[in-house]
Amino acid sequence: MADRLTQLQDSVDQIATQFFSALRYVSTHHDAEPVGSEARMVDEGRTVDSPEVFEAAMNELARDLIVKSKQIEYLVTTLPGIGVSEDEQHQRLRYLEERLKEAEAERVASVREKERAREKLEEVIVNLRRV
C-alpha cells in the first residue's frame, strides 16, 4: 500500500480527471438553449441527452466529485504533522535523528564484529591447511 502522500497525490490527480470528465460531459451532452431572441444553435458533433438522463448523469458526476473530495479531506487529516505544533515536529525529528545515530552505531559495530569473525575464520582455515 502506498504512503499517505502518494495516496493524496493520486486522489488529487483522480479528482482533476473527474472534473475534466464532468465538464466534457456537460459540454457535449447539454441541450443548447437560445438566449433572448437568438435562434437555437445546433452542433452536429454533440449528442444531446434527454433532460432526465442529463439530470441523472449530472447527479452521479456531482456525487462522485463529493466522494472523491471527502477522500482527499480524510487523507489530508491523516497526514503526519497535522494537528502537531512546529516545536513538537522538531522534537520528533531530533528523536528520530538520535535513533538513526544509534542504529548507525549498531550497524558499524556489527560490521566490525563481522570483520573480526571473518579474520578468525580465515586464520582457522589457514591453520587447517597447514595440518
User: What are 63-118's pLDDT values in tens digits?
Assistant: 999 999 999 999 998 887 777 788 888 898 999 999 999 999 999 999 999 999 99
> 75 near 8, Cβ under 8 Å?
yes
Output the pTM of the full model. 0.59
Contacts of 5 (CB under 8 A, 6+ apart): 79
Mean pLDDT over each residue of the chain, to the nearest integer = 89
Q: Taking Cα atoms as reference points, which of 62, 66, 24, 65 lies closest to residue 45? A: 24
- Has residue 1 got a pLDDT over 70? no
